[in-house]
Amino acid sequence: MSVRDGLVFLSDTRTNAGVDHVSTFRKMTVFEQPGERVLVVLAAGNLALTQSVIQLLTEPAGAGQQTMWTAPNVYEAARVIGEAVREVHKLHSHALQDFGVEFNCSFLLGGQIHGQAMRLFQIYAAGNFIEASTINPYFQIGEAKYGKPIIDRVLTPDTPLAEAEKCALISMDSTLRSNVSVGLPLDLLVYERDSLRVTRFTQLDNDNAYFQMIHNTWGARLRQVFAEIPEPDWSPVGALPATARRPAMPPRATLPPGFDGAAPTADAPLQILAQEP
């Protein structure tokens, strides 16, 4: 997440190669030169591929080539990662294809270099990349969908940094609840704008009191809000709250003229097949 006051990075540590091979691996790597640059890389996808990419990033580059340490700006650092992805593609994609395994990896890169603005990028498996903006101030990779709705509802570029952290943790809690391929512990790194060093990093596990509080409180309060919202009322005369009225029932005597796939309108009856053809 990229907000006015900083960047929030959150990753889980669950990997799997089928349910027989569930393991715990870090998905966050930090390139820090205090006072000069902080670049944080998150990885998702095939672990063998993402590890190869990270390995390339930590090795000295060839003469004249940029590295994460020499890239003059975050955009160039994203390009360095994109090139590493393409290098790994060259090494492994054909062999993977022989086994019907998709070349599947993606990365997030965020950070700041001295004298420049914070930036946040998402790098695709093809090595191309996009940047976050004030309209889309966050990226997710991996199991993204479960946790997206709460972020969409609360995150804006003006969200205070601590609220963004809370939002990220609530989002991850929803994902943990609904998908076993995501698991504790979590790595949380919060970058404070213009600090140019890692000031806030922690690993969160079941025994972390704050995450436990989020986990318990959010679920309980959600159920409470759910209980407070009135149920739909199907009585013919709509009582308050305004009801989901029962419409006139479609004709039942005859079979409608085939399934024609016509767009439903307010009047179009549901296709109810009331008699055996």
24 or 116, CB closer to a second copy? 24
116 or 234, CB closer to a second copy? 234
Question: For residues 243-260, b (16+ Cβ closer than 10 Å) or e, as one string?
Answer: eeeeeeeeeeeeeeeeee
Calpha distance 41→189 (Å, rounded):
11
Closest by alpha carbon to 8, among 171, 128, 153, 145? 171
Closest by alpha carbon to 125, among 53, 60, 59, 181? 53
Calpha distance 68→72 (Å, rounded):
9
Nearest-approach distance from CB 179 to a second copy, in angstroms: 8
Closest by alpha carbon to 84, among 37, 125, 25? 125
Nearest-approach distance from CB 134 to a second copy, in angstroms: 19
Residue in the structure block whose two tokens are 């009582």: 239
26 or 86, CB closer to a second copy? 26
Nearest-approach distance from CB 29 to a second copy, in angstroms: 5
236 Cβ contact partners less than 8 Å away, ≥ 6 residues apart: 245, 246
Nearest-approach distance from CB 185 to a second copy, in angstroms: 7
Secondary structure class of 54 (helix, strand, coil):
helix
114 or 145, CB closer to a second copy? 145
94 or 245, CB closer to a second copy? 245
91 or 242, CB closer to a second copy? 242
Nearest-approach distance from CB 2 to a second copy, in angstroms: 18
Secondary structure class of 66 (helix, strand, coil):
coil
Burial class, 46, CB count within 10 angstroms (exposed 0-12 / middle 13-18 / buried 19+): buried
128 or 212, CB closer to a second copy? 212
Nearest-approach distance from CB 94 to a second copy, in angstroms: 19
Nearest-approach distance from CB 275 to a second copy, in angstroms: 7
Calpha distance 178→182 (Å, rounded):
9
Q: Which two tokens stand for residue 189?
A: 């790194």
Calpha distance 12→25 (Å, rounded):
9
